[in-house]
Amino acid sequence: MNEKIFRRTEILLPADRSEAALRKWSVVACDQYTSDPSYWETVEEIVGDAPSTRRITYPELFLGASDKEARIAEIARTTQEYRKTVLQGYPDAMIYVERSMKNGKVRCGIVGAFDLEAYSYAKDSQTPIRATEGTVLSRIPPRVQIRRDAAVETPHVMILCDDRGGKLFSAARRAKEGTPLYDFELMQNGGRITGWLIDGVLADEIETLALALGCPEQFEQTYHAGADKQPLVFPVGDGNHSLATAKACWEERRAAGAAEDDPARYALAELVDLRDDALEFEPIYRVVFGADGDALLRDMKAAYPALTEGRGEGHVFEVVYGGTVRYVTQPSPTAQLPVGTLQTFLDAWLADHPDAEVDYIHGIEATKKLAQGEHAVGFLFDGMEKDDLFRTVIFDGALPRKTFSMGEADEKRYYLECRSIR
């Protein structure tokens, strides 16, 4: 890698950065609480008529709404209005971020621009920036429709790196010598977030240190991957589909003759060190709606004849529906992870049951709550250790879709910083 694929850019923030204004401005990622309308109703109550990223993003809960086209048109109009009247620009900048979680830990990040020319979501990709999970292609077109006419982007994408020597984030922390750009409590139990401007000489240093993460010799020494494997530098931790959407929009503009330095070529995201103690991987569970629990388990046993009742050696699933809790074990799995075993079965089962659907849920309690509903079946299982991520993606390619989440739903990235994309 001989180009700066992570770099500074103009970052836009609300001119009014009072605690009260920013609390209304910053909203959790749109792919959270997709089966919990009460969460988004509370967001609306908090925001009221104030400027908010709620007005320039589209919660996936409402993707099936009858007024979807009107909502998308309003997002485009609002992004243009906000760029003119709400947002203030910081040119050639990055932002060092500290997110204080409800468990007392502090997660650190660097917000900057990633080059979409260095990214691919193909399962066998060898690009420096790669998807970590399978991409559901049907989820991209509606997101493209939203992004295509928007004047600004606001990211919930979190991209990982392996800062083995700690040099990159040690440098970034020097930004704390300045006055914070923002410091406020996020709504809905999101914890506290503080950000400091990175520019000038420090930005130069961080770009150089990020470039060094792609050293081929270090990659081979660490993973012994062989000559046919190119360095994995920045795996996508959260927001795979949002980054895929940005890529699709850039490809559209490039095909239409856009310049190589067109703003659409880049996507704003937060870079996080895989080794950050506050970064925790959580499984993303499944809830199947429109299914009978007993019948679904019979079908699972038919698909996996070795499946046994109870908890044993192999891939174990806690199956919850109504007031029932059952455990089943697949003792001879072919997939590396329990989620792979389950998703393979569900994909085939859902194809034969078009009236049923699956949702991907963050958190054990949220899954159990939804599984109490009529004709709802929840699946809980062990997740992946974060230390396995790089090696798994390098050798096996992208994981099954919705394999892991970086924290619980209220620990996800909130929309906050913006960037012009047109």
What does 117-134 look like in DSSP terms, one character per residue?
Answer: GGEE--TT--SSEEESB-
Let me know whether 326 and 194 are in one domain: no
Q: Which residue has the tokens 């704390």?
A: 176
Domain-located, residue 259: yes
Domain-located, residue 327: yes
**How buried is residue 174: exposed, middle or buried, by Cβ count under 10 Å (0-12/13-18/19+)?**
middle
Let me know whether 190 and 49 are in one domain: yes
Looking at residue 417, its pLDDT comes to: 98
3-state helix, strand, coil in the chain (%, to 5): 35, 25, 35
Looking at residue 2, its pLDDT comes to: 53
Write out pLDDT tens, residues 80-138. Answer: 999 999 999 999 999 999 999 988 999 999 999 999 999 999 888 999 999 998 887 77
Q: Is residue 283 over pLDDT 80? A: yes
Let me know whether 231 and 374 are in one domain: no
How far apart are alpha carbons 45 and 85 in whole angstroms? 23
Domain-located, residue 401: no
Name the phi and psi angles at 340, rounded to 5.
-65, -40
Residues near 256 by beta carbon (within 8 Å), at least 6 away in sequence: none
Domain-located, residue 138: yes
Let me know whether 49 and 131 are in one domain: yes
Looking at residue 1, its pLDDT comes to: 46
Q: Is residue 397 over pLDDT 90? A: no
Let me know whether 42 and 136 are in one domain: yes
Residues near 337 by beta carbon (within 8 Å), at least 6 away in sequence: 315, 383, 384, 399, 400, 403
**Paired sense of beta strands 404-406 and 376-380, if any:** unpaired
Domain-located, residue 396: no
| Number of other residues whose CB lies within 10 A of the CB of residue 103 | 11
C-alpha closest to that of 114 among 7, 240, 238: 7
Range 389-418 average pLDDT: 89
Burial 383-419 (b: 16+ CB within 10 A, else e): bbebeebbebbbeebbbbbbbbbbbbbbbbbbbbbbb
C-alpha closest to that of 413 among 275, 236, 266, 285: 236
3-state secondary structure of 141: helix
Average pLDDT, rounded, for the chain:
94
Residues near 347 by beta carbon (within 8 Å), at least 6 away in sequence: none
Let me know whether 238 and 97 are in one domain: yes
Residues near 100 by beta carbon (within 8 Å), at least 6 away in sequence: 106, 191, 192, 193, 194
Let me know whether 262 and 300 are in one domain: no
Let me know whether 158 and 298 are in one domain: no
Domain-located, residue 392: no
Write out pLDDT tens, residues 293-325. Answer: 999 999 999 999 999 999 999 999 999 999 999
Let me know whether 372 and 413 are in one domain: no
Domain-located, residue 265: yes
Q: What is the C-alpha radius of gyration for the chain, rounded to an integer number of angstroms?
A: 22
Let me know whether 111 and 214 are in one domain: yes
Looking at residue 29, its pLDDT comes to: 95
Range of the domain at 98: 6-280+407-420
Let me know whether 259 and 295 are in one domain: no
Let me know whether 378 and 271 are in one domain: no
Residue 133 DSSP code: B
Which residue has better confidence, 197 or 408? 197
Fill in the amino acid letter for 217: E
How far apart are alpha carbons 172 and 170 in whole angstroms? 5
Instruction: Provide the percentage of residues in the chain whose pLDDT is more than 90.
Output: 82
Alpha helices (H) along 86-139: none
How many domains, in total, are found in the chain?
Answer: 2
Q: Is residue 365 over pLDDT 70? A: yes
Q: Is residue 34 over pLDDT 60? A: yes
Which residue has better confidence, 270 or 134? 270
Residue 237, both tokens: 């931790």
251 close to 307: Cβ distance less than 8 angstroms: no
Domain-located, residue 103: yes
